[in-house]
Amino acid sequence: MSMTAASATVGSLYFPRSRIKGCSFQPRMTVRSVSSQQKSTVTTSVDEILTNLQKQCATPLPVLRHVADSMANDMRAGLAFDGGSDLKMILSYVDSLPTGNEKGLFYALDLGGTNFRVMRVQLGGIDQRVIATEAEQVSIPQELMFGTSEELFDFIASGLAKFAEKESGKYHLLEGTKRELGFTFSFPVKQTSIDSGILMKWTKGFAVSGTPGKDVVACLNEAMKRLGLDMQVSALVNDAVGTLAGAKYWDNDVMVAVILGTGTNACYVERMDAIPKQPTQTAHSGTTIINTEWGAFSTGLPLTEFDKQMDAESINPGEQIFEKTISGMYLGEIVRRVILRMAEAGSLFGNSIPEKLQTPFSIGTPHICAMQQDTSNSLDTVGSILFNEAGVESKTGARQIVMEVCDTISKRGGRLAGAGIVGILQKMEEDTKGLIFGKRTVVAMDGGLYENYPQYKNYLHNSVTEILGQKLSENIVIEHSKDGSGIGAALLAAANSKYKHTF
């Protein structure tokens, strides 16, 4: 999700300084007032709302264990047959992971929002590994998001061609090979092979005609051919799969990858014989990567009236419930809804309820993160953010309550994400004793929420330790893998190269 400098980018947790202090914006302060008659009928105080919220969001150990167990059970059900659980458990068709032996020049293209990113990587085999990388980001014009499939893919291919033209002398193809590309495509796709997948529907504000129901790899290959760009897609992946591949290239103990940013997802290495819904599938390695699409998980989650109201008013009611409780798109909005209720029912900010506070998503996850970093006595940053983003004047007492709300929502999110990770690890361990808990196991993490929200990150780590216990959790390493999906896509193109016999 891209936003202007006047508001924060949720996925990257970017905080423009001007939004915290010194903003010249004058909010409307008296759009709606709470009358004395309304006040007299209000029986719910701010303290009661906060106490109830903390009670409903609580994640004691039994709740975390239930979530972890349910995640493992839903994974098995989703592997048994399509539609077996909320989790889609999609085969990635990645059965050749990078080994380090890969050599040559490979490209990556990452399309997941209003920008796309192109990258080239020169690989030098087991001794030199990654010799050089270069990357560029290109903005997609708004009109192309509502145009035709051919227009969009021609624009993307053109950006890729311009980038390829800038190849310097340190990048070179192996003799007898053509340029190959790893394509990270973060929209709902029914994958049919390592280098093909049918677009199910556009999301994230795209409404391009002519693509749903078509193979997106064929669309891109045809666009490159029209331009005379001598390059072909060798691997189609989503960002979680790319992150796993990129991290495993450097560390063979990586078994799981999790994205925690604007949205969320997780994938892991699975045995082919543990996938009943694909009995005829074979892989020479005996393993593949499963894309869980865990944002759709919903079993046993501690939900509040604010979650249910937000879900009911969303564009996908009843769907992506786990994502709506743990990801960057939604945490700030839940906080806004809670403090709006406090303002209405308990006059948290006095008699007026500004229009901005009533506006969905006016408070973003970057704002609640910034508020939680405020250690000043009078919570000046909290006051500035509330004034600039929600249009409210606040006293120190009200700011402290807002901080409590932020902490309650980020704590629940981080701890539930940790329980989800344990659920994946449990499932893998239960199927293959000693695979996970008997040795070092790495979970690769990417996404701005995990990277930039220290309280959330700590709650996640503490949750994993609490569920597994100190001894078992010592072997579980959660590592940040920044921008891992880009290089991961290039590495998967190399691992699935049509010329891999040459290295």
Nearest CA to 409 out of 350, 455, 346, 345 is that of 455
Distance of CA 246 to the CA centre of its chain: 16
What whole-number distance in Å separates Cα of residue 62 and Cα of residue 14?
Answer: 35
Token code pair at residue 38: 């309304």
Nearest CA to 390 out of 426, 359, 429, 427 is that of 359
**The one catalytic residue among 204, 277, 380, 407:** 204
Token code pair at residue 254: 């990586």
* Ramachandran sector of residue 247 (left: φ over 0; alpha: ψ -120 to 50; beta: rest): alpha
Distance of CA 450 to the CA centre of its chain: 9
**Is 204 annotated as catalytic?**
yes
Supply the DSSP string of 423-435, one letter for each residue.
Answer: HHHHHHHHHSTTS
Residues 6 or more apart in contact with residue 183 via CB below 8 angstroms: 108, 109, 111, 216, 217, 220, 233, 235, 236, 237, 489
DSSP letter at 102 equals -
Helix, strand, coil share (%) of the chain residues, nearest 5 = 45, 20, 35
**Is 239 annotated as catalytic?**
yes
Tokens 């556009």 label which residue? Answer: 202
**The one catalytic residue among 195, 239, 374, 446:** 239
> Which positions are catalytic?
204, 239
